[in-house]
Chain A
Amino acid sequence: MNALKKQDIDQPGAEKNITVQTSRFGEITVDRERIISMLSPFLGFPESTRFILKSHSPKSPFMWLQSLDNPQLAFVVLPASLTGLDYRPEIPRQILKELRVNADNDKDILLILTIPKNNPQEMTANLLGPIVLNSNKRLAVQVVLDPHKYDPCCRLFPAK
C-alpha cells in the first residue's frame, strides 16, 4: 500500500511521470501523483495493483480505469452518484480505515460497467462489487457487499 510513497522517498530525483504501454490507449504518460493503488487487486486480476482514471471526455461521466500493470486491463466505470440510482451502500468500517477515509466526502463510489459491444443500451452496473476510492490519498478497493441486497448486473437503462 505504501510502496509508491516509499519509492518517492527513496528516489527524490525520480521522474515525475512514468510511461506505460496500454493496449487501448497505446503509450501513455502518467503523473506518478495520479496513480491509484488498490488495497487488494480486483478478483480475477491479481497482477494489477496500480491504476489510472482516465476521463472519456470532459463532458462525459464515463471513465476508464486503466491498469498500469496489465496493458490489456481497463474497466469502464461510472460514479454511482450519477446513475440516478438510490445507491448508498454501507461500507465496512475496516475498509474505510484502510482507505484512510475520515469524512464521508473523502470517498467516491465507482461502479464497474459491463457494456455489451453491440448492445450498449444493455449495459449493466455491478452494484454488488463497487469500487470505493479515496481520491485524495489515491487508494481504492473493490468491496464485496451483501448479495441479498445488491445485484452484480443491474441494468442502468431498463428496456422501455
Chain B
Amino acid sequence: MLILSRKVGEAIIIADNIKIRVLENKGGLVKLGVEAPDQVIVHREEIYLRILEENKKAAMDSPDDLSMLSAVFPLQKKE
C-alpha cells in the first residue's frame, strides 16, 4: 500500500482527474474533499461493503421458483 502524509489543506492526485484533499482534522474525524469526474463513483467503504454483501446474499439466496410467493403474499400487479 502506498502511504502518504498530508497536512490539512494538502491533497493527493490520482491519475489525472481525481483529487482528494484533507479539509479538516478535528477530534479524530477527518474531512476529505473529493474532486472527480461525474462518472467516477465514490462510496464510503462501509456502505459500499454493505450493498455488496446484500447483493451477494440476494443473488445466492433466491428460491428456485417464485410461485409460492404469489400464493403467500397478497401482492397483485395493478392493471
Contact = CB atoms under 8 A, between A and B. Distances in A.
B17 interface: no
A117 B39 CA distance: 37
Interface of A: 24, 40, 42-45, 56-62, 64, 72-76, 78, 82-83, 94, 98, 112-117, 120-121, 123, 126, 128-129, 142, 144, 147, 152-153, 156-157
26 contacts: A43-B48, A43-B51, A56-B66, A56-B69, A56-B70, A57-B67, A59-B77, A60-B70, A62-B69, A62-B70, A62-B75, A75-B62, A76-B66, A82-B78, A83-B75, A94-B38, A115-B58, A120-B69, A121-B73, A123-B69, A126-B51, A126-B55, A128-B47, A147-B47, A152-B50, A156-B73
Contacts of B70: 56-57, 59-60, 62
Contact of B77 (A45, A76, A82, A98): A82
Nearest to B42: A144
Give the interface size bracket for B toward A: 20 to 34
Interface of B is mostly: helix
Nearest to B55: A44
Contact of A126 (B43, B54, B77, B78): B54
